[in-house]
Chains A and B, each alone.
Chain A
């Protein structure tokens, strides 16, 4: 799909325009498009560099073993970065705000709640005997289901007031956290330990089979965005303008929401929650690229996501020597950034 149209667009219509040499794309526009292309190439190059850095810095001992392990980790980082990046940009568009991402709307607290309830209901023995793959599937299905319910309900409250939505997101987050903490009190110490294991994002131990499944789901969901990209450009203008232009607004929003939920659910089920990653990645991509076109923004956010996770983990491993985790770093930086965005929007 060639998203960026060259100077003479239009299939088989060269004979149609002898009237006047109308400027189809001005110099300014061509310049912008060139800059966008260059930035995309630079991002792709940076992604490759980050992957190489992660793979080869400080490589000691058995190369075969170490590289195999790192390859698995870097693949997990890439999958999560891509899934979170792409889904967050699309979520921002359908929510009509740069501040709202699935993480901000309480999705991660929902993940913890689902985990806790699953451990509570099944108990550690059953939970562990389910096997990693079944656990993953249970997680994925539950998260997708409840995530979709949550987001649908949020968007149904037709008030598109940003601060009301943020407030609802925060309240939902706290509610889920409170329920989680309540449910975890009912757990036996053994179950509680099991829960602690799954409750934090971890890239160091990733099951190869789960990684494969998540990669396939992520790729499929990202492909699902492709036919929506042009309509998302228009959905960005809001319900009324989009409807006026004949875009089936609600259908686009619902389809996007399903894809977003699947993406976030699968990546969260794989490595655990990273609340503010999407917020940083999506806004960074929008700042770097001077365009409204989702055919550019979505892949760009995917690349930025991959760069953030891979580089971030490289720093965590080699600079902090694993004394901290990527999710802690991401949440610290992202949390501050979220505050900054809120303050700027509210002009406090």
Chain B
């Protein structure tokens, strides 16, 4: 269980996160939603110790994420930001092998190779394994990075906007895979999502943020309703139910 307590982040005079307290339930798919500038990505970065916090603590089942050893954290928590830098002449399989670094420091053993092969197969990257990353489309590259995170084989996976640059089909496939990770492998997945309807369709738990604060948290049914969306986005959004799923119609 990831527990954030009193997380505060300021840039000069601008407060990006204001005393955020949040508990991420284990074995669930949690979606972080909210308008631009709400602090979702910042919160995710702080929770995964990519960004230093000005105040507050992050605990993962009793381990202090912000002070624990790098390797120790990396064996239990994997994170992926958007817009990852791509090294030249790096093939897909070599990228996925990096995922084993916390366990083998770069000297892969048989079990590491097995984990890499499994991650590649899971993300359907076998055909692309020897391609260089800069020869791939945005969506393929995204899948390669996710495969790296899967090879890391952590109980907790944090992803910042994994649907960025993905078309409808790939976006749905990505969400199904994440869903599958939670359901069949019992992983805890946290994603920052832009589209509230993806959260409604795939997440177990939705956390809505605004202006650096958590304004609502609950099941998709509780969050995706006109009142809450009004409070989060300042927009009146009619919510319909299609096959038992709330769908926010915010286009018109």
User: Which residues in A have some Cβ–Cβ distance to B below 8 Å?
Assistant: 5, 9-11, 13-14, 16-17, 19, 22-24, 26, 28-29, 96, 98, 230-231, 233-234, 236-241, 243-248, 286, 289-292
Contact = CB atoms under 8 A, between A and B. Distances in A.
Given A9-B107, A9-B109, A244-B149, 17 more contacts: A9-B108, A13-B110, A16-B111, A22-B113, A22-B117, A26-B129, A29-B91, A230-B101, A230-B106, A231-B106, A237-B85, A240-B81, A243-B49, A244-B78, A244-B80, A286-B88, A290-B89
Nearest to A96: B85
Interface string B17-43: 000000000000000000000000000
Given A29-B130, A286-B88, A13 B71 contact: no
B75 interface: yes
B50 to A, nearest CB: 5
Interface of B: 45, 48-50, 70-75, 78-81, 84-91, 93-94, 98-99, 101-102, 105-114, 117, 129-130, 149, 152
A22 B129 CA distance: 13
B30 to A, nearest CB: 18
Nearest to A11: B109
A247 B152 CA distance: 13
A147 B130 CA distance: 40
A237 B84 contact: yes
Given A238-B85, A248-B70, A10 B109 contact: yes
Nearest to B77: A244
B89 A291 contact: yes
B98 A10 contact: no
A24 B149 CA distance: 19
B108 A5 contact: yes
Contacts of B73: 246
A24 B117 CA distance: 8
A19 B117 CA distance: 12
Nearest to A29: B130
5 contacts: A22-B113, A28-B130, A240-B79, A245-B102, A291-B89
